[in-house]
Structure 1
Amino acid sequence: MVKRRYVNTMVADAYGTLTSHRYPRPYPARIPLPPRTPWTIDLADDVDNLFWFACFDLDAKTPDALELAIEDFGVLTRLLHRAGVPHVSCRSSRDGGFHVWVPLAGIPLTLMHELADAAGAVLKTLDSGMLRNSKSGAARPPGSPHRNGSFSQIMTGEDTYPVDVLYTPSVTETDVRRMIDSFRELRPTVDLDKSVPAGPTDSRHQAHREIPAWGLPHMQTVGGGYDPSRNAYMCLLAAAVAGWSFSDVQQAAQTAPGMEHYRTQNAVAGGRVPRRPAEAHARLRRQWDAAVQYAQSYVNYPEKRTERDLTELQGIVLSAEAMLNAFRVSPGRWCRAEADIHDSTVLTALVWMSVRSGQRKVTAAIRSVASLTGIPSTTVDRSLRRLTSAGWIERVRYAEGTEASVWRVAEKFSTAHLHVGPHHLMTARPPQQLFDVRATVLRSLEDRLNAGRSDVFTRAGLGPTARRVYESLQTESFDANDLAEKSGIPRGRLLAALSRLRRYSLAISSPQGWRRRLNDIRHRVAMKLGVHGILAQRDQAYGWEREQWAWWIAETTFRAGRTTRQRRRPDTGQVRFRLTDERGDPNSWPAYPRDVDGRADHRTAMAYIRAGALQALRDRELAA
């Protein structure tokens, strides 16, 4: 029901081939025959800028991306059926990808933005650009040709609607809001302990090992719920936080209702079909590695969030969006040298903490940021100093005792965005839409941090430039020019880094461009390069250093005649002692080692910590 008088057609080049993705030539809609070249229809009219179609475009330009798009397609169609919304599903071309069309009864742009944000927080392969653009948002309709010679093919299967439903604009604003609410039920939560499964649960199933309280309902979700892929991943996160091994996860995947995703896969025609054993094992292994990566971030930053001021959260999310864009459009500042790449990574970690906590001020120890980013603590310290000098961050409070420094992310990224135009015309996002956008931004920040935190990209491995390029790769293909713009790396350095990544099969080259492997083989590459375990060794050393520092602070506090306050963070490796003496309660520390002259012997103290002998030292002290 688009009121525009034209459709948009693709134009062949001078050689008669179709190479462009643009549709610049109008074609009168009154002509009964369709254009001979690929063509699109606008989703909104040019009179009132109201949307008469919603087209959910699930990209799948590679076999790896197709696997993800099929899962998103299953989630989307199940959600539309639950909401009672008529729709028509199409395979967009023979190369893969899906278009799901919904006939709308004149929906305003503001509500379409809410729909795009809510859907984008759930569907990883969704290209939501056309849902946000009432001027030029367009898509190829069912049956239209593709430039590769194939057609947009209407799909058939269970509970499908005939294409005739698109002729009648039947989906109202009330229906769209119901769709938005359904998406928000599936939106990932920021705090793991607040996550709830989307679907009925079977309380008869019990995990064979201890698991966090929030993880058990996900294990018990019948059939994986309405989003089996997400629910199964939450099961893996719970297992990773609980310290399970991969063999434990394999055992649970055989029987846990919530891990149905690792036994069967979504069928495009409807329902689920069994997976091949080898493919199921590879998928479980791949997603377990990703869950362990995320669990490291969760452990390194376990603070509870307190939502107080949504206005502040709005500014934080805007800053995060602007920062991600600045990394792309300002390569001269953030990718000029390796030090700049380190600065952008450290800043990404601080912004992730801020977005996750909903507060400008975040408590961040240098070693915690080092563990979160995979960058050495000395390098993190230098980056923090440079970022502070440049005004990107501010140290609100210096470290004191065992309390880490408090940092505040500046508003430099969001200032221009916030002050464009009259203030009375500015409207903040509604709270639920703001949470949708935050979930999407968090996913982008976490993907960036997790992609680069690997032994492979340490100094002894492929280095920070290869890390930045790898972070920019996706499962869909990009040519070198697009990747140079996306990563901010000059084209010459980019091609050199891509060559190194391809040598170790971390990047795949094809006629369509460059992409990342879906199977994460970074640990195998690390072993081949001889750098496997470097980050684990660093984390262990950071733990020992935290422990020694806490011991020394307890010693100086006791000698000063003050009461020791036990306020150490969970990741400092707290030591509990069985007996008490004049030093205080059962949590207090033994006497700090000293040499014959009475000076602190830090080398001996570290030797005790490395040997795990603090309790033995305490017992010996009490026995004497």
Structure 2
Amino acid sequence: MSDPDPATAWALTRAIATRRYVNVMIAEADGVVRSNSYPRKYPVVSPTPPATPWTIDLTDHAGVFRFAAFDLDAKRAEDHEQAAEDLGVLVRILRAENVPHVVCRSSPTGGYHVWVPLAGAHKPLMQQLAAAARAVLPSLDHGLLCNDRTGAVRPPLTPHARGGASTVMDGDVDELRTEAATTGDLLRVVAALRELRPTPDPAHQAPTGPVDHSHRTHRQLPTWGADHMATVAGGADPSRTGYLCLLAAAVAGWSLQDVEHAARTAPGMEHYRTRNSPTGGRELRTASEAASRLRRQWEKAQERAAAYRYAPRDRTERDLSELQGIVATAEAMMTAFRVSPGRWARAEADLHDSTILTALSWLSLRAGARDVAAPLRTLATVTGIPSTTVDRALRRLRSAGWITRVAVADGLDAAVWRVSERFSTTDIQDGPLHDMTARPPAELFDARSAVLRELEDRLDAGRHDVFTRAGLGPTARRAYEALSLQAGTEEVVSGRAGLPLSRVRAALTRLRRHGLITRTRDGWRRRLRDQRGRVARALGVDGILRRREQQYNNEREQWSWWNAETAHQAGKRSRRRTPATPQPVLFRLTDDRGGPESWPAYPRGADGRGDHRAAMRYVRAGALQQLRDSELAA
């Protein structure tokens, strides 16, 4: 398709412009446009178009929105797929609600603009729309939807600074000349988006479409995973459904061969057989493309499953005031990391402190409770930081008042922690507490979902062997985490990471040298294929976190055994063994020590004291059942 004629583009712009001017780029002395900004005003009444690309404001002079513009960003090659999937979800919703819209490919390099003409919408409603869409569409620039001051977008058909133009893929641009979508239309779109909003606990995520109850997997899955695996055609959001299928498979211990087998026929795995077309349908993937995408997503699902095993159950209070505070604290904490590098990025210990705070905030948001039980070894596993380092970080954070220990560890009960409200003190002190503007429940859950996703992305990006101290270290980890969403210049990465520019440059150079990131004309970004495993093997650190987690599991097992022994010696009924991760020892017989779930006698030395070294040898060898049998046989 040839690029639209500038005169045609300008005629459309003049017809739909919300103000008396458009915003225009400025070319440099050599005639080339290099800055992605539109500082100059150009009158709409001019019969000739500007010589450089232009945008129109989304609001009129009174600040009322006349357009909703969904900008699905795809600056990186790996973003194209996500943007296309998000486009399919959005188009299906708009069609189902009979909302007029126009779909444009924003530029030859990728990305989409979805235009919805409005009969006039005020900012509070657009904020609801932005929050609901943000929770469902990862590639969306949600701020543009509700920016009533500087929100502006290139209209359909207009040229792009790097060549090409915004081309119409679906819809009739003449619909943009008429104010069409009403407040009621937008509210229905908001409600439809909220039905697709991810839940903190995947076990509570309802399928987004009809379920084929006749479908059976070849291996067992959690009940919630089986429902998603049987969702016809992947439901309303095939990408999200496919990911939940992989997460359930990872939690159930499936192998890559198992998920490849399921991807051939399982209804919920439609995303790994077909891809979204610009008009909202599906088209077949090539065999190589399908296999490559499945492998990449499987690796991500396995990483997320490691944290899922330790995630607390969602206990959101009926009174949402507590959740309001948790979300506000988490948002303020992430802001503090960016704007206060002197506190959170000065030294290696500061980087560890911020990572532990991120994990505690994730646990709190996930549970919907300020006070969360956080075992030392669970925090170590979730963050990829050694348990001894986690302990020191907790002590520093507690001494500085950033966290509070609500309850000390007691036996098998872990210490209970609370993230301090110091992060959100500024907001709270703006006025009396009862005057604070609380988010409505639906908007609060939208914000919670978005913040939770950002925290999980950070933890998943940094929890890897390659970023252990023997590998590339915590500074490289922080820089890599800052590239988790989109590419950016060194200055942008510095701002996201909360690191001084000099340290960011050094970290990016190391990451590039090892092939973890690459540089494009848009800035730094991660490579399409995750290279962390390869680099970890090259550095000789592959398997460090896996060995640590196994050691932590052994230590939990031994600690539970010792607690059961001391309870028995004291004449108390020992607690049913509930290790943090499923590794049951199903004792087949019973005796006076209790039921079939009880522990054998703890090893003791000649002096009668517990022999902890011998106990650990039994645990590591997985020999507790044999020890139980030999004890009863004697």
Aligned to 2:48: 33
Distance in 2 (alpha carbons) for counterparts of 1:260 and 1:394: 46
Q: Where in structure 2 are the equivalents of 1:212-227 lying within 5 Å?
A: 212-227=222-237
Structure 1 unaligned residues grouped into runs of 5+: none
Answering whether residue 293 of structure 2 is matched by residue 283 of structure 1, we say yes
Answering whether residue 272 of structure 2 is matched by residue 257 of structure 1, we say no
Aligned to 1:210: 220
Q: Which amino acid aligns with 1:383?
A: A
Q: Tell me the CA shift for residue 201 of structure 1.
A: 2.3
Q: Which amino acid aligns with 1:324?
A: M
Which of 173, 179, 185 does residue 175 from structure 1 map onto? 185
Aligned to 1:189: 199
Answering whether residue 384 of structure 2 is matched by residue 374 of structure 1, we say yes
Distance in 2 (alpha carbons) for counterparts of 1:385 and 1:423: 30
Q: Sort the Cα spacing of 1:302 and 1:312 in 2 relative to 1 into closer, same or farther, 3 A.
A: closer
Q: Sort the Cα spacing of 1:415 and 1:597 in 2 relative to 1 into closer, same or farther, 3 A.
A: same
Q: Tell me the CA shift for residue 475 of structure 1.
A: 5.9
Q: Sort the Cα spacing of 1:381 and 1:271 in 2 relative to 1 into closer, same or farther, 3 A.
A: same
Equivalent position SS for 1:291: helix
Q: Where in structure 2 are the equivalents of 1:372-411 lying within 5 Å?
A: 372-411=382-421
Aligned to 1:112: 126
Equivalent position SS for 2:90: helix
Q: Sort the Cα spacing of 1:424 and 1:13 in 2 relative to 1 into closer, same or farther, 3 A.
A: farther
CA contact (8 A) 1:475 1:517 kept: no
CA contact (8 A) 2:557 2:579 kept: no
Distance in 1 (alpha carbons) for counterparts of 2:630 and 2:65: 78
Distance in 2 (alpha carbons) for counterparts of 1:527 and 1:380: 25
Q: Tell me the CA shift for residue 327 of structure 1.
A: 1.0
Q: Tell me the CA shift for residue 376 of structure 1.
A: 0.4
Aligned to 2:547: 537
Aligned to 2:22: 7
Aligned to 2:149: 135
Distance in 1 (alpha carbons) for counterparts of 2:449 and 2:485: 20
CA contact (8 A) 2:589 2:596 kept: yes
Q: Tell me the CA shift for residue 569 of structure 1.
A: 4.2
Distance in 2 (alpha carbons) for counterparts of 1:210 and 1:536: 24
Aligned to 2:474: 464
1:171-197 CA-to-partner distances (Å, cap 9, x unmatched) read 011000110011111111112221111
Which of 78, 101, 120 does residue 64 from structure 1 map onto? 78
Answering whether residue 379 of structure 2 is matched by residue 364 of structure 1, we say no
Distance in 1 (alpha carbons) for counterparts of 2:418 and 2:583: 27
Q: Which amino acid aligns with 2:630?
A: R
Aligned to 2:87: 73
Aligned residues: 619
CA contact (8 A) 1:229 1:261 kept: yes
Equivalent position SS for 1:8: strand
Aligned to 1:232: 242
Equivalent position SS for 1:76: helix
Equivalent position SS for 1:368: helix
CA contact (8 A) 1:2 1:52 kept: no
Q: Which amino acid aligns with 2:593?
A: R
Q: Which amino acid aligns with 1:142?
A: P
Aligned to 1:42: 57
CA contact (8 A) 2:577 2:597 kept: no
Equivalent position SS for 1:234: helix
CA contact (8 A) 1:64 1:475 kept: no
Equivalent position SS for 1:214: helix
Which of 106, 117, 126 does residue 140 from structure 2 map onto? 126
Q: Sort the Cα spacing of 1:422 and 1:172 in 2 relative to 1 into closer, same or farther, 3 A.
A: farther
Equivalent position SS for 1:414: helix
Q: Where in structure 2 are the equivalents of 1:562-573 lying within 5 Å?
A: 562-566=572-576, 568-571=578-581, 573=583
Answering whether residue 454 of structure 2 is matched by residue 439 of structure 1, we say no
1:100-128 CA-to-partner distances (Å, cap 9, x unmatched) read 10001111100100100100111111011
Equivalent position SS for 1:400: coil
1:67-119 CA-to-partner distances (Å, cap 9, x unmatched) read 22111111111111111110011111112111110001111100100100100
1:305-362 CA-to-partner distances (Å, cap 9, x unmatched) read 2433211101111111111111111111111111111111111000000111111100
Distance in 2 (alpha carbons) for counterparts of 1:175 and 1:511: 40
CA contact (8 A) 2:314 2:368 kept: no
Q: Tell me the CA shift for residue 521 of structure 1.
A: 2.4
Which of 165, 171, 175 does residue 151 from structure 1 map onto? 165
1:182-221 CA-to-partner distances (Å, cap 9, x unmatched) read 1111111112221111122222221111111111221112
Aligned to 1:17: 32
1:128-173 CA-to-partner distances (Å, cap 9, x unmatched) read 1221211111111112222223221122xxxx42111111111011
- The TM-score, its normalising length taken from structure 1, stands at 0.96
1:446-501 CA-to-partner distances (Å, cap 9, x unmatched) read 00000011111111111111111111114632111111111122222222221221
Distance in 1 (alpha carbons) for counterparts of 2:17 and 2:285: 42
Q: Tell me the CA shift for residue 2 of structure 1.
A: 5.7
1:408-433 CA-to-partner distances (Å, cap 9, x unmatched) read 11111112123325767642111111
Aligned to 2:5: none
CA contact (8 A) 1:9 1:39 kept: yes
Structure 2 unaligned residues grouped into runs of 5+: 1-15
RMSD of the alignment, in Å? 1.6
Answering whether residue 72 of structure 2 is matched by residue 51 of structure 1, we say no
Answering whether residue 312 of structure 2 is matched by residue 319 of structure 1, we say no
1:522-546 CA-to-partner distances (Å, cap 9, x unmatched) read 2222222221111111011001111
